[in-house]
Structure 1
Amino acid sequence: MATTTKKASGTSAAVPTLDETFTSAVRLRVCAYLSGCEEADFKAVQDYCELTQPNLSKNVTVLAERGYVEVSKVAAGRYTKTRLRLTGAGQAALDGHVAALQEIVDSARTRQASR
């Protein structure tokens, strides 16, 4: 999870920051979907995210390189199925990103309320 230290009134606290990986709506959506299950079939993720196979594959490669998604192959009769799983690091990164987004929203609401 990406965090930064912010000093305020002589104290420091970990503040979540946006994760560059999730600036892609596709990668954010894939990880959000995977966070709701133990693992998922590649085709199920593809259908849910309404992506082409090459587009999903490219984005899963990025997520796997960052250690956010684990890819495995499972024999299913004569075929091999690709399974995707969000790793602990992926869940932590997603949680931090969502927390950072929530801080942005909360800050905007606070400013609007103080006007």
Structure 2
Amino acid sequence: MSARFDIGRIDDVIHGRLRLGVMAYLANAEVADFNELKSVLEVTQGNLSVQLRKLEEAGYVAIEKGFLGRRPRTRVRITAAGRTAFAAYLDALGQLIGPPPPA
């Protein structure tokens, strides 16, 4: 087996479809409101909450709760550790897939 093919480098926390979507979105946006993520990812509030909690427990996102006027507001921000983990995840995935075939 090739040393390049190391499935163990895939971060299971990020690899779930919804968590991957959150990380990909935040990698570009840096911060997003909960409802923005819910809309973009087309998921239920409960499902998003559970997946965000997993990312938060891993230290990949920070969740900030507050108010905008009288309305509750939850914002999700990618952390430095999250950005590093996401870059490593993408690198590991790239290693598994390999270079594109010549055109």
- Asked whether the two chains share a fold, i.e. TM above 0.5, the reply is yes
Identity fraction in percent: 35
Q: Of 70, 80, 83, which residue of structure 2 is paired with 1:88? A: 80
Whichever structure has more strand as a proportion of its residues is: 1
Aligned residues: 96
Q: Distance in 1 between matches of 2:31 and 2:19?
A: 16
Q: Which runs of 4+ in 1 moved over 2 A?
A: none
CA RMSD in angstroms comes to 1.9
- 1:37-78 residue CA offsets vs partner (Å, 9 max, x unmatched): 131100001111111000000000000001001000121111
Larger Cα-atom Rg: 1
Secondary structure of the residue that 1:51 maps to in structure 2?
Answer: coil
Q: Of 64, 88, 92, which residue of structure 2 is paired with 1:72? A: 64
Q: Distance in 2 between matches of 1:74 and 1:39?
A: 14
Whichever structure has more helix as a proportion of its residues is: 2
Secondary structure of the residue that 2:49 maps to in structure 1?
Answer: helix
2:21 aligns with: 29
Give the alignment's TM-score, normalised by structure 1.
0.77
Letter in 2 for 1:59: Q
